[in-house]
């Protein structure tokens, strides 16, 4: 598979780079960003944190706003940030132009409904194609963690819970924890998966957590002043599911913080250190 390097910036002794490639999974060209810490240039295969962004975002939001590179360089962790959906000519978008469905809103699931099933298979892309591409082309190990924000927090938790053998740890900021029961999730799942709500549950972190038999260390931070807290995010549902199954979830309510990248930047160092501890285990 051919990778095209479209940008490169040195940062804290390592390199932030953007690449494009043709995705066989998504049937379109895709872009992702990777931060390679200085250890990777010295022949060390470094572990990887996959970061999944939220609605309307791309690979650029986290890399430019979170301030993660300094700590990633110190800890020797690569960060890979894919786009939030397929894009490009011929990729379907919501004809109404809404922000929460279509381009920028892939929800990290495999769509089954036309026309979305031709391109919108972000679950397979994140779980299979992208890690294989990264591990075959960069100085990284097969130790993987996953994290994300909002829609990406939903994706990170759901993917880790469904693939506990592939990830050493998972964390999330302001995740959509129970998409089968919130407006964002109902709209996306109806469009991508159809009306059978039993099909939705395989992509719902609260539903998965209730039944989890294998455990991936999990850290969730939620801001108490998040405008989406009650209607869309519902952290209490995730907490209840963890209690039901005895899952060792650490869910922290951070007083006064909202849904923005100011919140993420405030706690990203703690999340990176959390993942680093489990990489070393």
Q: Give catalytic residues, as residue numbers.
A: 150, 226, 259
Please give the Cα distance from 233 to 211 (Å, whole number): 20
Please give the Cα distance from 210 to 256 (Å, whole number): 29
- Choose among 29, 35, 7: nearest CA to 19: 7
Q: Write b or e for each residue in 118-138: b if 16 or more Cβ atoms lie within 10 A of its Cβ, otherwise e.
A: ebbbbbbbbbebbbebbeeeb
Q: Omega into 125 within 30° of 0, i.e. cis?
A: no
Give Cα separations from 152 to 107, 115, 281 (angstroms): 7, 23, 26
Please give the Cα distance from 56 to 17 (Å, whole number): 21
Q: 246: alpha, beta or left, given left = phi > 0 and alpha = psi -120 to 50?
A: left
Integer-rounded Cα Rg, in Å, for the chain is: 17
Helices within 33-150 (DSSP H only): 60-65, 69-75, 122-124, 130-137
Asked if 85 contacts 102 with a C-beta cutoff of 8 angstroms, the reply is yes
């Amino acid at each position: 598979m051919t990778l095209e390097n479209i940008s490169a910036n040195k940062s804290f002794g390592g390199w932030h780079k953007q690449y494009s490639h043709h995705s066989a999974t998504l049937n379109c060209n895709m872009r992702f960003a990777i931060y390679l810490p200085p250890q990777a240039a010295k022949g060390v295969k470094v572990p990887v944190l996959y970061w999944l962004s939220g609605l309307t975002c791309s690979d650029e939001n986290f890399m430019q706003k979170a301030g993660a590179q300094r700590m990633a360089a110190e800890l020797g962790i690569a960060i890979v940030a894919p786009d939030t959906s397929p894009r490009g000519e011929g990729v379907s978008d919501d004809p109404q132009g809404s922000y929460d469905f279509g381009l920028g809103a892939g929800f990290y699931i495999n769509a089954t409904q036309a026309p979305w099933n031709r391109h919108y298979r972000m679950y397979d892309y994140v779980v299979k194609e992208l890690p294989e591409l990264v591990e075959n082309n960069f100085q990284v190990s097969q130790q993987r963690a996953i994290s994300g924000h909002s829609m990406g927090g939903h994706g990170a938790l759901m993917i880790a819970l469904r693939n506990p053998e592939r990830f050493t740890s998972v964390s999330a900021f302001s995740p959509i924890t129970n998409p089968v029961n919130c407006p964002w999730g109902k709209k996306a799942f109806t469009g991508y998966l159809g009306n059978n709500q039993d099909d939705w549950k395989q992509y719902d972190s609260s539903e998965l957590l209730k039944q989890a038999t294998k455990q991936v260390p999990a850290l969730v931070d939620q801001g108490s002043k998040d405008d989406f807290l009650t209607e869309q995010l519902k952290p209490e549902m995730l907490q209840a599911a963890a209690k039901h199954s005895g899952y060792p979830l650490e869910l922290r309510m951070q007083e006064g913080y909202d849904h923005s990248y100011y919140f993420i930047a405030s706690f990203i160092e703690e999340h990176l250190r959390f993942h680093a501890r489990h990489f070393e285990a």
